């Protein structure tokens, strides 16, 4: 049985931050002297997810907020152009669009200067247009990053009740670090999300954090015992694995690419995977598109610049060797 509601039930909807990203063109530490910067690029994990979801042909929409400025406009126009429903993106006349300045260090780690909590991104609320989008949605995708925004938890609970109530499904990309789970409340919320999720999209350690158990087999079994029906585990340049509650496992090797900018791979993977599954594709095919979406995105500078249409991903799949 399919674990996600079909695309025809209504769009995949996500909630969360829309940002611009402005990146240093040179490797190094931080922003303590004048350096060359490149941007603005449309960004924000939920925005990247929903852009890829729409671009591959899934119906998709986002609840978010931007400022009345060019940083907001390039995001909204990109999402609209790529086919996402932007009706529930509200525009603040007081706060600017959120931003993230990023610089990569030699070792691949990153320094950030964020403006999120004092930006329009923090103003997401349950507007009439947001309610209307939830009322016609077929699937909710929860992004762990969004919980930094006040009021988002209550909105998630509303969306879960409405969407599940009409036969829709829920996915969760934890996007969480162990440090963030130090507070008991966050841990409880996270457990609650796992209990309502049909699909989990963890990467790396997040599988163990989500399960509260170490070891891949034990963690997967624990999550299935809590009602999850499928897991798509992201393994970076080692590809991905599908696990289903009825015991099926599918491994999908990564595509071999030169990584230019790793940001957004996981979000593109998720957007493609959810869209493909909701469009009725078997797990193997959905993983292949998801791996392609993640891999293609890292070959291009900018967090969502490499998101691909179905035709672009078909061309990428045909032209790109796979790691064995
Ligand atoms: P993010 O770094 O955006 O948080 P993530 O850790 O959630 O991402 P990853 O596992 O890094 O997710 O990437 C998602 C998918 O994208 C991988 O499963 C893989 O298929 C593809 N991918 C990511 N990086 C590479 C790479 N360097 N080479 C090939 N494929 C990649
Ligand atoms: Mg990664």
With a CB cutoff of 8 Å and minimum separation 6, the contacts of 274 are 4, 12, 53, 58, 139, 141, 171, 199
The pLDDT of residue 239: 97
Helix (H) or strand (E) holding 43: strand 37-43
Preceding amide of 218 cis, omega within 30: no
The pLDDT of residue 179: 55
Over residues 266-280, the mean pLDDT reads 98
Q: Which of 65-79, 100-114, 122-136 has the lowest mean pLDDT?
A: 100-114
With a CB cutoff of 8 Å and minimum separation 6, the contacts of 192 are none
The pLDDT of residue 182: 55
70 C-beta neighbours (distance < 10 Å), count? 12
Q: Is the separation of the CB atoms in 249 and 243 below 8 Å? A: yes
Q: Helix (H, G, I), strand (E, B), or coil: what is residue 140?
A: strand
236 CA → ligand 1 middle, Å: 4
Q: Which of 205-214, 223-232, 312-321 has the lowest mean pLDDT?
A: 205-214
Ligand with an atom nearest the CA of residue 290: 1
The residue nearest atom 10 of ligand 1, judged by CA position, is: 236
229 CA → ligand 1 middle, Å: 22
The pLDDT of residue 210: 86
294 CA → ligand 2 middle, Å: 9
In the predicted model, what is the mean pLDDT of the chain?
94
pLDDT at 323 over 60: yes
Ligand with an atom nearest the CA of residue 206: 1
301 CA → ligand 2 middle, Å: 15
146 CA → ligand 1 middle, Å: 20
Closest CA to 313 of 18, 13, 57: 57
Kindly write down the DSSP assignment for every residue of 193-214, as one continuous string.
HHHH-SEE--BTTHHHHHHTS-
Q: Quote the CA–CA distance of 281 and 288 in Å, as a whole number.
A: 11
Q: Quote the CA–CA distance of 244 and 228 in Å, as a whole number.
A: 9
**What are the strands of the beta sheet with 98-104, ordered from one edge?**
37-43, 19-24, 98-104, 110-115
The pLDDT of residue 180: 58
The pLDDT of residue 176: 73
Over residues 305-311, the mean pLDDT reads 98
Atom of ligand 1 nearest to the CA of 204: 6
pLDDT, tens digit (0-9, with 9 covering 90-100), for 95-120? 999 999 999 999 988 999 999 989 99
Ligand with an atom nearest the CA of residue 144: 1
Over residues 234-255, the mean pLDDT reads 97
The pLDDT of residue 1: 55
Residue from 243, 256, 294, 300 whose mutation best tests the ligand 1 pocket (most atoms within 8 A of CB): 294
Q: Is the separation of the CB atoms in 20 and 39 below 8 Å? A: yes
pLDDT at 161 over 80: yes
The pLDDT of residue 150: 82
The residue nearest atom 11 of ligand 1, judged by CA position, is: 236
Ligand 1 binding pocket, CB closer than 6 Å: 203, 234-237, 239-240, 254-255, 257, 259, 262-267, 269, 291, 294-295, 298
The pLDDT of residue 181: 61
The pLDDT of residue 188: 83
Over residues 215-239, the mean pLDDT reads 96
262 CA → ligand 2 middle, Å: 6
8 C-beta neighbours (distance < 10 Å), count? 10
pLDDT, tens digit (0-9, with 9 covering 90-100), for 165-214? 999 999 999 887 655 565 556 778 888 999 999 999 999 888 998 898 99
């Amino acid at each position: 049985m399919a674990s996600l509601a079909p695309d025809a039930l209504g769009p995949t909807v996500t909630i969360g931050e829309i940002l611009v990203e402005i990146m240093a063109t040179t490797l190094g530490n931080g922003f303590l002297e004048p350096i060359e910067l490149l941007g603005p690029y449309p960004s924000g994990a939920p925005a990247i997810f929903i852009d890829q979801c729409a671009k591959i042909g899934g119906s998709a929409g986002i609840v978010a907020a931007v400022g009345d400025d060019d940083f907001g406009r390039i995001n909204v126009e990109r999402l609209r152009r790529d086919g996402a429903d932007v009706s529930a993106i509200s525009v603040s006349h007081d706060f600017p669009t959120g931003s993230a300045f990023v610089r990569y260090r030699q070792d691949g780690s990153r320094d950030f200067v964020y403006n999120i909590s004092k930006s329009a991104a923090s103003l997401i609320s349950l507007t009439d247009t947001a309610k209307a989008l939830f009322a016609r949605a077929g699937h909710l995708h929860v992004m762990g990053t969004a919980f930094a925004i006040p009021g988002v938890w209550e909105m998630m609970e509303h969306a879960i009740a409405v969407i599940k109530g009409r036969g829709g499904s829920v996915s969760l990309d934890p996007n969480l670090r162990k440090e963030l789970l130090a507070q008991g409340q966050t841990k409880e919320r996270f457990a609650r999300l796992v209990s309502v999720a049909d699909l989990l999209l963890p990467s790396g350690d997040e599988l163990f954090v989500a399960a509260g158990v170490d070891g891949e087999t034990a963690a997967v079994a624990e999550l299935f015992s809590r009602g999850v029906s499928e897991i798509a585990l992201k393994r970076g340049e080692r590809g991905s694995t599908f696990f289903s509650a009825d015991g099926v496992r599918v491994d999908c090797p990564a595509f071999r690419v030169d990584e230019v900018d790793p940001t957004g791979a996981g979000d593109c993977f998720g957007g493609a995977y959810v869209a493909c599954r909701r469009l009725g594709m078997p797990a193997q095919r959905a993983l292949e598109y998801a791996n392609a979406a993640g891999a293609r995105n890292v070959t291009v500078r900018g967090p969502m610049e490499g998101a691909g249409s179905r035709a672009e991903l078909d061309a990428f799949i045909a032209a790109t060797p796979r790691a064995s």
